[in-house]
Homo-oligomer: A and B are copies of this chain.
Amino acid sequence: MSGTSDEDAIRDLVRTVEEGWNAGSGERFAAPFAEDSDYVIVYGTHAKGRAMIADGHQQIFDTIYAGSNNTFTVEDVRFFRPDVALAHVHHVLRFHQEAGAQEAEARSTWVLTKEDGRWSVAAFQNTAIVPFEGPPGRP
């Protein structure tokens, strides 16, 4: 149903997004996303399309996450179809605030499709990992 080369391509694509973050480049971060990709950010807002993903990330790379480091770990990759896959990624973000060094964890779902022999991210959603107590959104 799916060759190792497909999974390798997907893992490479995740690595490109990670490298884009750590280089502070919104354009590089967004390159693996499809032009019409759906991206739900960690605050629950829905960004539509690669250009918006690039611009939005460039803004945070230049401000609150300037100099930050984000480690991406692929937790699993599975194939719904030979050309449609799902991946989960665990993120550890290290950044600086006035209060000092901070660390935040998140988990993301990636939907990837292969069009004309090339994989891209068709949809993505990110969620902060927070203690399971109290209502959602008020950790």
Contacts from A to B (Cβ < 8 Å): 38, 40-46, 64, 75, 80-81, 83-84, 86, 88, 93, 95, 97, 102, 104-109, 111, 113, 122-132, 135-139
Contact = CB atoms under 8 A, between A and B. Distances in A.
Given A75-B46, A105-B44, A86 B135 contact: no
A106 B40 contact: no
B106 A109 contact: no
A137 B139 contact: yes
9 contacts: A40-B125, A44-B127, A45-B132, A81-B83, A95-B135, A106-B136, A106-B137, A127-B127, A130-B137
A84 B139 CA distance: 34
A80 B86 CA distance: 13
Give the 4 A-B residue pairs with the shortest CB-CB distance, closest first: A128-B137, A44-B129, A42-B136, A109-B125
Contacts of A40: 88, 107, 109, 125, 127
